[in-house]
A and B are shown apart, each in its own frame.
Chain A
Amino acid sequence: MKVLLVDDEPLARERLAVLLADIGGVDIVGGAGNGREALEIAARERPDLVLLDIRMPVMDGLETARHLGAWDSPPGVIFCTAYEDHALAAFEANAVDYLVKPVRGERLRAALDKARRLSGTRAHELAQAVDPGRTRTHLCARVRGSLVLVPIADIHYLLAEDKYVVVHHARGEVLIEEPLKSLEDEFEGRFVRIHRNCLVARARLAGLTRAPDGRLFANVDGVSAELEVSRRNLPGLRRLVRSL
């Protein structure tokens, strides 16, 4: 069984590795210090199981599990945490298992057995179980098989096209398969709707320009494309621009 170890503390990863070696039958495919690194390694190595710490810099364990769960044939997830977190309650049922640190060898063995039986089947449900109040720090996309993680702070605007949303960000653009509406709800306050098909990063909104034909366009820092503002979203947008 291929296992990925994710914890921001090197000693904690070391301990898990020692315990797994004692148990045997496990191939450790890598160690990651945060969720972002974990997703990158997981995309490359395709582990069967991820041992995931909750509290980590850059991207925490819960968000990492959510991204993993959205993949095709996702790995199983076992959470490891130092201290009970009530945010975990919803996940406990859906994660393969949930271990508290310092992890006991026999508990880890039992969790591995469970993971072998269940494999990735629960991961999709795990992704679903994410508390709707939690917002992700990254959007996760696949480009020709490889993984692209876009930090929310780097996103300029989101444009809906057919069944995709195009994420325009500081280093290019990627397609994700998520409805614009759910993105708007999740990142409320971070993005502002200017059109039925477009959300703009509030922090980058610089002003409005009227074209000779009377149509209105939003000026967005770092964006040269013309983003049209719809009549319906205009009043709210005017108020926002005035308060800038």
Chain B
Amino acid sequence: MQRRSATSGPAWLPQFCSGPTLFAVMVVAELVALVVVLAPEPQARVVLPRLGVVSVYVQWLALLNAVVLCSLRGVLGRLDTRGGYVVAWLVSLLVTALASAVVCRMDQALGLQLSVPVGEGRRFVFANAAICALIAAALLRYLFVLERWRERVRAAAKAQVDALQARIRPHFLFNSMNTIASLIRTRPAEAERTVEDLADLFRAALGAGEAPGTLGEELDLVRRYLHIERLRLGDRLVADVDVDDLPHDFVLPRLLLQPLIENAVYHGIQPRADGGTIVVRGRRSGDGVEIVIANPLPADAPAKRNGVALANVRARIGYHFGARADLRVEPGPDTYTVRLRLPETLAR
């Protein structure tokens, strides 16, 4: 997975140095402290002061473990999953035992009586190590399963996005071929240009899953697509495109706009005997861009489109930009408008 190559270390071990993970570790540690304090024992003690002492101690142990595991990430990364799992567990066991021994020794030397009386130090260290062993085992196992699950979700999402990769309708290919066949005898130069346009479109469609493209390239593809469709549909298709405000170097997944334009032609222009005008407007909006595509509706339009192309584009912008990207459909009485908002940066 490319995402992981940037941060070396095993997949199953989270970044212990990161804020959210540290916080999670502290929460777990505090729960452990509560369990320890609440456990019934022979001599009743006041709970709150004891909770303070236990919390400080457990938190310290937990953070110590987190820091050690974090700094050992590189080493653990060289082991296989199972080996790394065992080593991480042993390391936390060892760290806890050593830390317990140190604390116990210091406490007894200073006579603070916060841990255990003299002579029971060995039992204290052993008990701490045992508790740590159980909790670390459970926690590591949990993290392992969680990471597995995340990976599966990620792989499924990737597969879905790959499968959804912009497709051009087969009708379009064959109709375009037919257009070219018609043009060859009468307007060979136009036929030549159409072949070039069609080649560019299919090159983009085939490479759509790879590196992202730029808005400038995407607008070029839209222009080529509209050129072919204008030849095919004649006067029935009028395109009113104003996208001069858009930044041409804006990065976005390839072939994101063309399917929306194709949809507009397919549902809005083709079913109308007298055709109509497709309006495309693009502008900068905040730190991103907003692109609006509107088409007229045929008289007897089906109430609901099956929305394959829209679902496809929505899934792709969700995957690439995250929740800040937005594709909104505004069906009117006689126009159908699609509003696409993209934030500045690609999420990945």
State whether the Cβ of A12 lies closer than 8 Å to any Cβ in chain B.
Answer: yes
B174 adjacent to A15 (CB under 8 Å): no
Whether the pair A8, B270 counts as a contact (CB closer than 8 A) is yes
- Residue of A18, A34, A82, A83 near B185 (CB, 8 A) is A18
A15 in contact with B300 (CB, 8 Å): no
The answer to whether B271 touches A82 (Cβ under 8 A) is no
Q: Is the CB of A83 within 8 A of B171?
A: yes
How many A-B residue contacts, CB cutoff 8 Å? 62
Interface status of A100 (Cβ within 8 A of chain B): yes
**Chain B residue contacts of A14, Cβ below 8 A:** 182, 186
Give the complex CA separation of A231 and B232 in angstroms: 55
CB <8 Å contact, A15 and B181:
yes
Which residue of the partner chain, among B181, B232, B271, contacts A102 with CB atoms under 8 Å?
A: B181
- Identify which of B182, B183, B231, B273 contacts A33 (C-beta below 8 A): B273
Answer yes or no: B8 CB below 8 A from chain A CBs. Answer: no
Q: How far is the CA of A137 from the CA of B301 in the complex (A)?
A: 12
Task: Tell me which residues across on chain A come within 8 A of B174, comparing CB atoms.
Answer: 82-83, 100-102
Number of interface residues of B (CB under 8 A): 25
| Alpha-carbon distance between A12 and B299 when the two chains are bound, in angstroms | 25
**What residues of chain B lie closer than 8 Å to A34, measured between beta carbons?**
273
Is B177 positioned at the interface, with any CB of A under 8 Å from its CB? yes
What count of chain A residues pass the 8 Å CB interface test?
22
B121 at the interface (CB under 8 A from A): no
Q: Give the residues in chain B near A170, CB-CB below 8 Å.
A: none
Contacts of A36 in B (CB 8 A): 273
* Contact between chains at A15 and B182 (CB < 8 Å): yes
Known: A11-B232, A101-B177, A102-B177. A55 touches B182 (CB 8 A): no
B113 contacts chain A at the CB level, 8 A cutoff: no
Across the interface, which residues of B come within 8 angstroms of A82, CB to CB? 171, 174-175, 178
Q: What 0/1 pattern do residues 30 to 68 of A give for CB contact below 8 A with B? A: 000110100000000000000000010110000000000
**Which chain A positions have C-beta within 8 A of B179?**
9, 11-12
Interface residues, chain A, with chain B CB atoms under 8 Å away = 8-12, 14-15, 18, 33-34, 36, 55, 57-58, 82-83, 100-103, 137, 153
User: With A14-B182, A102-B180 given, can you name 7 additional A-B contacts, CB distance below 8 Å?
Assistant: A8-B236, A9-B175, A11-B178, A18-B185, A57-B298, A101-B178, A103-B178
Which B residues fall within an 8 A CB radius of A?
170-171, 174-175, 177-183, 185-186, 231-234, 236, 270-273, 298-300
9 smallest A-B Cβ distances: which pairs? A15-B182, A82-B174, A102-B181, A11-B182, A101-B178, A102-B178, A82-B175, A57-B273, A57-B271
For this complex, 21 residue pairs linking A to B, each with C-beta atoms less than 8 Å apart, are A9-B179, A9-B233, A11-B232, A11-B234, A12-B178, A12-B232, A15-B181, A18-B182, A34-B273, A36-B273, A55-B270, A57-B270, A57-B298, A58-B273, A82-B171, A83-B174, A100-B174, A101-B174, A101-B177, A102-B177, A103-B178
